[in-house]
Chain A
Amino acid sequence: MHAITYEAPKSLEHALRLLAAAGEKGRVLAGGTDLLIQMRAGVRTPERLIDAKTIPELQVLSFSPHEGLRLGAAVPCYRIVEDPVLCQHYPGLVEAAGLIGSVQIKNRCTVGGNLCNGSPAADTTPALIALGAVCYVASPRGTRTVAVEDFVVSPGRTVLQPDEVLVEFRIPAPPPHTADCYQRFIPRNEMDIAVVGVGAAVTLDGEVCTAARIGLGAVAPTPLFAREASASLVGKPLDDEAIATAAELAQKIARPITDMRGTAEYRLHLVGVLTRRVLKVAAERARAR
């Protein structure tokens, strides 16, 4: 790896000063499970690393029925998977965080890093889209918010400017009879990258769906919010017919490529299968609440 400098700021304000001074040469290091590999391969060549893990503002993990979830960008995935409150309120997000890598990787990797890495196949991103998560981004100019579905602009690239830090995600508290689910397809049991991943969250009033959001991964250059598919469910009973219609609409916005993990045709098929499955599971969970 090329020569670098490393800083471990103890506050967000300090981190922003360091990042501003580093300009184009700076990059925030979270778990490092993607970035350090990319630096060794010469894919990314930042010269000044600023460690997100030592910034208290990026380690926030709190839930309240009023505020919902505040998830710091540098919270390692093991804290999400092991948090009983998150398991209760956001099982889909927990499923996504739990699917990433080995125990070793989950002890380091972060949801913020997963998003900032900009991979279209990031597991936690469709789960965040389904939950309507909003990114809080800080810079010397102040704080701005970005919807998760608008954060990645192309493979490996995000809306973050060189002097900006993704601080935390905020996710609304789930209303009554609301639940989420995330599933991915891989050709083995564990330790792989999604061929396709789909997240969904639904709210029920009796059998009628009153809100729904579907996020798609690995089927376009960026993770997608399936807006029309989600809207098609609202106001209808969440039955097989409505779910099938939503799955078809989700397929319509998928623009998958053929690569070593699967053909475009197969991925398109999987979008339908997984959308139906996650909607059914999310609906079952919502009914049970």
Chain B
Amino acid sequence: MANKVYVETTLNGETVEFLCEPRQSLLEVLRDVLGFTGAKEGCLTGDCGACSVIIDGRVVCSCLVLGVEAQGKTIETVEGMARDGQLHPLQQKFLEHAALQCGICTPGFLVAAKALLDRNPNPTEHEVRYALAGNLCRCTGYDKIVRAVLDAAAVMRGGTHGVTGA
């Protein structure tokens, strides 16, 4: 067993300490060390986006980040999106638009969409599709997901009904 390294990071707003081997990915640390199983293991090659998390405001594939690289960083996962028992507008709109089926890709889509809306509260459909190009869904297809994100963006900007009237 290789020597474990002590890491201190901020995860969904709370200080978290953990020990990990340097070879372990952040995804592995989140799921198997810290018990945050929202980020999913899909391809392990950075193609599918199922493991998306936000580090210091930037969405990344946690399978391509080492756990030790989390030292001193601020990490957001899907577990941090709902607050005080209230779903995040993106989560609410994913439900309303039926923008998921099996659900494996959903945490990654939610996190990538949150990263987009944090930066761009009023994206065009084209911008939403571009921002989600690194997330693969093999069952729902993308149209419902894109509509859910556009609708959530409208709600978050203060409109009560959203662009698609759902």
Binding site for B on A (CB under 8 A): 1-6, 8, 29, 31-33, 36-37, 40, 49, 51, 53, 78, 101-105, 107-108, 190-191
Contact = CB atoms under 8 A, between A and B. Distances in A.
A105 B116 CA distance: 14
B66 interface: yes
A104 B52 contact: yes
12 contacts: A3-B21, A4-B2, A4-B22, A6-B22, A6-B68, A40-B44, A102-B134, A103-B115, A104-B49, A104-B59, A104-B112, A108-B65
B57 to A, nearest CB: 9
Contact of A104 (B2, B25, B44, B46): B46
Contacts of B46: 33, 37, 101-102, 104-105
B23 A1 contact: yes
Contacts of B49: 102, 104
A139 to B, nearest CB: 24
Looking at chain A's contact residues, the main secondary structure is: loop
Given A40-B44, A108-B65, A190-B133, A103 B112 contact: yes
A104 B47 CA distance: 9
Given A101-B46, A103-B115, A51 B69 contact: yes
B140 to A, nearest CB: 18
Given A6-B66, A190-B130, 5 more contacts: A6-B68, A36-B64, A37-B45, A102-B135, A104-B52
A103 B134 contact: yes
B131 interface: yes
B60 interface: yes
A36 B2 contact: no
A108 B45 CA distance: 13
Given A4-B2, A51-B69, A104 B60 contact: yes
B23 A8 contact: no
A40 B66 CA distance: 12
A5 B133 contact: no
A8 B71 CA distance: 10
B5 interface: yes
B115 A6 contact: no
Contacts of B45: 37
Interface string B113-139: 001100000000000001101110000
Contacts of B133: 102-103, 190-191
B22 A32 contact: no
Contact of A108 (B21, B44, B60, B131): B60
